[in-house]
Amino acid sequence: MAFGPFLLLALMEGLVTSATLALAAAGLSLVFGVMRVVNVAHGEFYMLGAVLAWAVAALVPGPPALAFLAALVVAPLLVGALAAAADGLILKRLNYDPEATIVATIGLLYMIQQATLSLYGPNANPVQAPFDWRIQLPWFGYSGYKLFVILAAGLVLLALWAFMTRTKAGLIMRATQVDRTTARAFGINVDRVYMGTFALGAGLAALAGVLIVPIQQAHYLMGGDPLLLSFIVVIIGGLGSLRGTLIAALVIGLSDGVISMFFTPTLAKILATLLVAMVLVFRPHGLFGAKA
Amino acid sequence: MALEVAGLIAGYGPVTVLRGVDFRAEPGRITCLMGRNGVGKSTFLKCLMGLVPATEGTIRLDGTALEGLPAHEVPRHGLAYVPQGRRLFGPLTVAENLAIGGLVQGNDRATLAHVLTLFPRLGERLSQVAQTLSGGEQQMLSIARALCLKPKVLLLDEPTEGLQPSMVSLIQDAIRTLTGQGVAVVLVEQRVDAVLRLADSVAFMVAGRVEETRDVKGLAADDPVFRNYVGV
Ligand SMILES: Nc1ncnc2c1ncn2[C@@H]1O[C@H](COP(=O)(O)OP(=O)(O)OP(=O)(O)O)[C@@H](O)[C@H]1O
Ligand SMILES: [Mg+2]
C-alpha cells in the first residue's frame, strides 16, 4: 500500500480510538469538573459497559443488531445506577472530600474488578458487531461498524454538549460546578446534582465500553488503558473543559493511530506521556482549562 | 410575612459565632444589621439561609419553621440572598445567572421583565459572561439574581461595599422600591449615612447577639449607639 492510503487507514483507526476515548474522558472530566472528584474507578465503568454488553448479547435472542441496540441502552443505564448507588453510599458520606474520594474510588476499582472476575470469569469474550458490512475504498476495505462507532460517539457528544449548554439540568450542573454553596442558596439540591453527574459520567464510560466491545472483546482487566488515556486527555484538555477534552481526545487518538501504525504502539504511549509532562510543566491547567 | 428569629445559636465546627440571636424583620420595611467586623453578621444571614446549621433557636417565617431545613429548601419559602462579595456564577452569562435565581419559581417571564426594569443595564448585557461585568454591574446582577426568586424576604450582605457613590444610590433606590412591594428587607450595612437614609429600624450586633434594636426615625448620625456598637 502507498503512503497516502496507509496514512488514511492510520487516521481512521485513530479516529475510532478518539471517539471512544472522547466519550470516556468526557465522563471523567464532567465528574471532576462538577464534583471535584478524581474518579479512579472510571475505567471500571467502561469495563462494566463492555461486560454487560456481552451479557445482554448472550441473553437477548434474535439478530445481533437487536441485542446490540439493547446493550447500548441497558448497559449505560445499569452502570449509571451502580454509580448513583456508589455516590450515595460512599462519596456522599465522605462529604466529597477530594483526597478521601481518591482513596475511596481506588477501593471501588478493586471491588468492581474482583466482583466481575467472580461473576464473569477471567476470559475475554467477543461480542458480535450489530452488522458486518464493509466500506470498500479504492485502496482497502474498512469496517462499517468502526465508522458507526465514530458517528455514534460524535452524536452522543453533540447531545452532551447540547444538554450542558441548552437545558435547565445542564445549567444547574454548571452553576453547581462554579459554586455549590451559592447554588444551594438558590434552591439547587446539590446532593441530587452530584448523584446525577456521577451516574452520567459513568454512563458515558459504559457507553464507550459497549461501543468498543465488538472490536476489542470484554475482559475484566480492560479498564486500565482507558483510565490512563482518559486522564491523559483530561490533563491535556484541561480538567472540566468539555471542548478541551474533545480536542485532546482527537490529538491523542489520531497520533496513537498514526504512530502505532508507522512505528509501535509503545512509542505512541511514550509520546502521549511526554505530552502530558510538557503540558503539566508549561500549562498546568491544561490547554483549555480555566484556572482553578 | 414577618421573619422572627429567637435564640439562634450557630457556628463553624467547634467555634460558636452566634450566641442567641433574637431578630425580627417586617414586610415592607428595611431592617439594617450593624456591628463591628467579625461579630457574626454574615454568619447570621448564612444561618437564616440554612448554609450554616443552627444548633439551637428558631427561625419562623409567618409561623413556618425554617430552622433545620436543608439549605436548598429555604429559598422555596421565599428567602433570597445577596451574599457578601456577590458570589456570582462567574463563567455563566447574565441571563443564566438570572435563570438560576428564578429556578424555584419556575422562571416566569413577568418576574424577569420586572427585575430588568429595575436594572436596565443588565438587560443590555444578557449574554455577557458575568465575570466580565464591572464591579457595580456585578453587584446589580447579584441583587437581580436574588429578585428573580420573587422573594418575601431579601437578605443583603453589604451590597454597596466598594462601589462609587452613583452606583450606591442606584442600588439603594432599587432596594427601596422593593419595600413598596411588601418585601421584608434585611440589610447588613456598615455606613451610618446609608442606614439613616434607607432603614426603618436598625439592629446592633455585638459578639454574636443583637444587643439593641432602634427605630431609625429620630436617630441622628451622632447618636452614641453608632459609636458604641460600630465604632464610628
Ligand atoms: N467558614 C468559616 N469557618 C470558620 N470560621 C468562620 C467562617 N466564616 C466566618 N468565620 C468566623 O466567624 C466570625 C464571624 O464572621 P462573619 O463573617 O459572620 O462576620 P461579619 O460580622 O460578617 O464581619 P464583616 O463585617 O467583616 O463582614 C469571625 O470570627 C470569622 O472568623
Ligand atoms: Mg460579613
Quote the number of domains for chain B.
2
Residue from A241, A3, A290 nearest A139 by CA: A3
Q: What is the distance of C-alpha B80 from the center of its chain?
A: 7
Which ligand minimizes its atom distance to the CA of B18? 1
Residue from B36, B44, B34 nearest B11 by CA: B44
Whether residue B106 lies inside any domain: the answer is: yes
Check A171 against B91: CB less than 8 A apart: no
Average of per-residue pLDDT across A260-288: 86
Q: Among the ranges A6-15, B142-151, B221-230, which has the highest mean pLDDT value? A: B142-151
Which residue lies with its CA nearest to atom 31 of ligand 1?
Answer: B38
Neighbours of ion ligand 2 (CB under 5 A): B 41-42, 84
Name which of B70, B72, B90 is nearest A178 (Cβ-Cβ): B90
Average of per-residue pLDDT across B161-183: 91
**Environment class of B90 (CB within 10 Å of its CB; exposed 0-12, middle 13-18, buried 19+):** middle
CATH of the domain at B25: 3.40.50.300
Whether residue A251 lies inside any domain: the answer is: no
Residue from B199, B168, B207, B163 nearest B33 by CA: B199
pLDDT at B75: 98
The nearest CA of chain A is from the CA of B181 a distance in Å of: 21
Residue from B200, B194, B189 nearest B221 by CA: B194
Which of B76, B97, B103 should one mutate to test binding to chain A, selecting the residue with the greatest count of A CBs within 10 A? B103
Give the whole-angstrom CA distance, residue B124 versus residue A200. Answer: 36
Whether residue A292 lies inside any domain: the answer is: no
pTM recorded for the entire structure: 0.93
My answer on whether B98 and B136 are in the same domain is: yes
pLDDT category at A292 given cuts 50, 70, 90 is: very low
The set of residues, in sequence order, having a beta carbon less than 8 Å from that of B77 and lying 6+ positions away, is B61, B64, B66, B69, B152
Tens digit of each residue's pLDDT (9 = 90 or more) over A231-263: 999 989 887 788 899 999 999 999 999 998 899
pLDDT category at A287 given cuts 50, 70, 90 is: confident
Domain termination site, one of B116, B134, B149: B149
Which ligand minimizes its atom distance to the CA of B34? 1
**Environment class of A181 (CB within 10 Å of its CB; exposed 0-12, middle 13-18, buried 19+):** middle
Whether residue A280 lies inside any domain: the answer is: no
Domain termination site, one of B149, B174, B201: B149
Whether residue A192 lies inside any domain: the answer is: yes
Tens digit of each residue's pLDDT (9 = 90 or more) over A178-212: 999 999 999 999 999 999 999 999 999 999 999 99
pLDDT at A290: 60
Q: Determine which helix (DSSP H) or strand (DSSP E) holds B147, and give its type and residue range.
A: helix B135-147
Residue from B219, B227, B182, B181 nearest B200 by CA: B219
Q: Which residues of A touch B95 (CB under 8 A)?
A: none
My answer on whether B103 and B185 are in the same domain is: no
Q: Which ipTM did the prediction report?
A: 0.95
Average of per-residue pLDDT across B206-218: 93
Check A185 against B92: CB less than 8 A apart: no
- pLDDT of residue A272 exceeding 90, the answer is no
My answer on whether B144 and B171 are in the same domain is: no
Domain region containing A60? 19-221
**Which mutation among B9, B15, B17 tests ligand 1's pocket best, with the greatest number of atoms within 8 A of CB?**
B17
Question: Does A202 or B218 have the greater pLDDT score?
Answer: A202
Residue from A227, A226, A246 nearest A236 by CA: A246
Whether residue A241 lies inside any domain: the answer is: no
Phi/psi of residue B51, each to 5°? Answer: -80, -25
Tens digit of each residue's pLDDT (9 = 90 or more) over A32-50: 999 999 999 999 999 999 9
My answer on whether B216 and B109 are in the same domain is: no
My answer on whether B50 and B103 are in the same domain is: no
Which residue lies with its CA nearest to atom 17 of ligand 1?
Answer: B42
Are B232 and B226 in contact, with CB atoms under 8 Å apart?
yes
Which residue lies with its CA nearest to atom 3 of ligand 1?
Answer: B12
pLDDT category at B1 given cuts 50, 70, 90 is: low
Whether residue B84 lies inside any domain: the answer is: no
My answer on whether B143 and B159 are in the same domain is: no
Give the whole-angstrom CA distance, residue A220 versus residue A35. Answer: 27
Chain B residues near any Cβ of chain A (below 8 Å)? 49-51, 70-76, 81, 83, 87, 89-92, 96, 99-101, 103-104, 145, 149
Domain region containing B211? 3-78+151-229
Q: Which residues of B touch A187 (CB under 8 A)?
A: 72-73, 75-76, 103-104, 149
Q: Which residues of A touch B76 (CB under 8 A)?
A: 187
Q: What is the DSSP letter of B159?
A: T
Q: How far is the CA of B6 from the centre of ligand 1 (A)?
A: 20
**Environment class of A118 (CB within 10 Å of its CB; exposed 0-12, middle 13-18, buried 19+):** exposed
Whether residue B140 lies inside any domain: the answer is: yes
Residue from A224, A220, A211 nearest A123 by CA: A220
pLDDT at B44: 98
Which ligand minimizes its atom distance to the CA of B207? 1
Q: Which residues of A touch B101 (CB under 8 A)?
A: 186
Give the whole-angstrom CA distance, residue B61 versus residue B81. Answer: 15
Domain termination site, one of B149, B169, B194: B149
Q: What is the distance of C-alpha B92 from the center of its chain?
A: 22
pLDDT category at A284 given cuts 50, 70, 90 is: confident
The C-alpha cell at A199 is 451516574
Question: Beta strand B54-61 with B209-215: parallel, antiparallel or unpaired?
Answer: unpaired
Check A186 against B76: CB less than 8 A apart: no
My answer on whether B183 and B120 are in the same domain is: no
My answer on whether B7 and B55 are in the same domain is: yes
Whether residue A270 lies inside any domain: the answer is: no
The nearest CA of chain A is from the CA of B101 a distance in Å of: 6
- pLDDT of residue A291 exceeding 60, the answer is no
Name which of B70, B75, B90 is nearest A186 (Cβ-Cβ): B75
Q: By three-state DSSP, how is residue B88 classified?
A: coil
Tens digit of each residue's pLDDT (9 = 90 or more) over B31-77: 999 999 999 999 999 999 999 999 999 999 999 999 999 999 999 99
Check B72 against A190: CB less than 8 A apart: yes
Whether residue B83 lies inside any domain: the answer is: no
The C-alpha cell at B130 is 458575568
Mean pLDDT, chain B, integer: 94
Least confident of A169-178, A193-202, B157-166, B197-206: B157-166
The set of residues, in sequence order, having a beta carbon less than 8 Å from that of A36 and lying 6+ positions away, is A96, A98
Name which of A172, A185, A188 is nearest B49 (Cβ-Cβ): A185
Which ligand minimizes its atom distance to the CA of B206? 1
Q: What is the DSSP letter of B73?
A: G
Q: Which residues line ligand 1 (CB under 6 A)?
A: B 12, 15, 17, 35, 37-43, 84
My answer on whether B117 and B220 are in the same domain is: no
Quote the number of domains for chain A.
1
